[in-house]
Amino acid sequence: MNKLLESVIENNRHWTQKGKLATYIPELAKMNSDTLGVSIITLDGEEYYGGDYETKFTIQSISKIITLMLALLDNGRERVFSKVGVEPTADAFNSIINLETKSPQKPLNPMINAGAIATVSLISGKDGEDCFKRILNFTRKITGNPSISINEDVYKSEKTTGDRNRSLAYFMKSTGVIEQDVEQVLDVYFKQCSIEATCKDIARIGAMLANDGVLPWSGERVVSRSTAIMVKTIMVTCGLYDASGQFAVEVGIPSKSGVGGGILAAVPSRMGIGVIGPALDSKGNSMGGIKVLAELSKELDLNIF
């Protein structure tokens, strides 16, 4: 299997040249655009690697599935989905247009920035620091990695340049979606995006979801089966924003991307996959990462449809 992963990486490395690093968060522009790596964690405990799998990257929007699970644990389904919808979008992940024209009271889904900011505002904590500590501890648990923490430089970079997210959040405060202090909610959001991980860490989250909410390495249940199924469903319909349909056709695995170049994939009852490739396509998804997942899906017969 490691041989297969090495060859899939080498077959697809050329795609990284067609993508571009995210520059709107200046710190992300410092990544190496040739990087391409993959890690697989199977539900029976096997681990496989290929390419630049040891590269650390910030998980960015992949954090949105972590905060969705935590918000659901804290509030239940009814409250969470009274604040955020589950409908796919045909617009960019940081678009503001739907908030004004379509659904001022409810961002379309928790995988776009507006929906993720609304979701994180629901997580319990006596203040922002406490709330983020809970997110970090939950991330450490579901990756099985107690040393996970944030990349301070990326966090500062996001915070100083995050005016688009600020505008989304203040708009949602004006329509009552956000009830808390906006700057505090945003600070937690910037931190969750700046959590640093490797392919293996995100593959482990994928393996937990593939295993319907139970950590395969310890047998501990962290979310209910119905929550795991719901999160995987939202990953299929919204996980790659306005490229989710194309990705479902090309790859057919519940997945979540981030502008750090990571993609987390959960193959039900089989495995979690983590890929890294910081060169992005025009929708903000890893150019090489998608191609690696497409080839693996074909080679290993992973398409859920």
CB-nearer residue toward ligand GLN: 111 or 251 = 111
How many residues sit in the footprint of ligand GLN (CB under 6 A)?
Answer: 11
Least distance in angstroms from the C-beta of 238 to ligand GLN: 12
**Two tokens at 57?**
């990257």
> Does 258 contact ligand GLN by CB under 6 A?
yes
Binding string, residues 150-169; x marks residues near ligand GLN by CB under 6 A: --------x------x----
Nearest partner of 5 among 302, 295, 301, judged by Cα? 295
Should residue 196 be labelled a site residue for ligand GLN when binding is judged by CB under 6 A?
no
Q: Which two tokens stand for residue 265?
A: 């994939």
CB-based closest residue to ligand GLN: 61
| Nearer to ligand GLN (CB atom), residue 39 or residue 151 | 151
Segment 107-146, which members bind ligand GLN (CB under 6 A)?
A: 113
Q: Considering only residues 274 through 303, tell me which ones interact with ligand GLN, judged by CB under 6 A.
A: 284
Active site residue 20: no
5 is a contact residue toward ligand GLN (CB under 6 A):
no
Which residues are marked as active site? 61, 64, 189, 241, 259
Question: Which residues contact ligand GLN by CB under 6 A?
Answer: 60-61, 93-94, 113, 158, 165, 193, 258-259, 284
